[in-house]
Amino acid sequence: MKVKLAVAFAVLLSATLARADSTPITVDVTATAPGIDLSAVFTVEQVTGTFFDSGQAFLFTGTEYEVMAISGTLNGGAMTLAAAPQGMGSWMSEESGTQFILGSVYFTANGSFSWLENDGENNLLEITDANGDGFGTSNPITWTATDPPPMNTPEPSTSLLMVAGIAFVLASAVKTTKYGRQAGSNR
């Protein structure tokens, strides 16, 4: 009986500590420079494929974090994820467990097609003119992209496993008490 209780408590403990991989994950992004104020949340997912590095103008194959959605603003204008010109998608690289390095991220804001890139020396915000002549501005930016720590709210499956474990422990205790009393009264 003690072994069963120990196993039940071990299952309960592991259920409270369990956390599924956060795929896709959200990344808090800020980019600043004189006249530039970008604040957004990128939804990213780790994928293996071919990507275009717009800052250094080459294609490569690897595993990166593809940007699946953008919610945020650039200088007060709403940002919308745009299709990449090369059709390879927007992407970032993971620098450490929670920090991300800029790859190439395409979006529209304030009526202009824009993108974020790293040219090997600087993180840049490229903005094309709204008149469509192909010219625009290239702005060096200070870039920060961080995966915020997970909230301490367990997933529904974790809660279900924990409730099932508690029910098992209670049922075992009731069964032991019931049969324990009957066996003791027969002696």
Provide the pLDDT confidence category of residue 45 given band limits of 50, 70 and 90.
Answer: very high
| Domain match, 121 and 63 both | yes
Encoded amino acid at 79, one letter? M
* 62 and 12 both lie in a single domain: no
Please count the structural domains in the chain: 2
Instruction: Over range 150-179, report the average pLDDT.
Output: 72
- 3-class SS shares of the chain: helix, strand, coil, % to 5: 25, 45, 30
Q: Which domain holds residue 68?
A: 25-146
Pair 6, 39 in one domain: no
What global pTM score does this model have?
Answer: 0.65
**107, 179: one domain:** no
**Tens-place pLDDT, residues 14-36:** 544 443 444 788 999 999 999 99
Whole-angstrom distance, CA of residue 106 vs CA of residue 115: 4
pLDDT tens-digit readout, 79-113 = 999 988 777 789 999 887 788 999 999 999 988 88
Same domain, 103 and 181: no
Does 168 lie in the same domain as 98? no
Q: Radius of gyration of the chain from Cα atoms?
A: 26
Same domain flag for 102 and 172: no
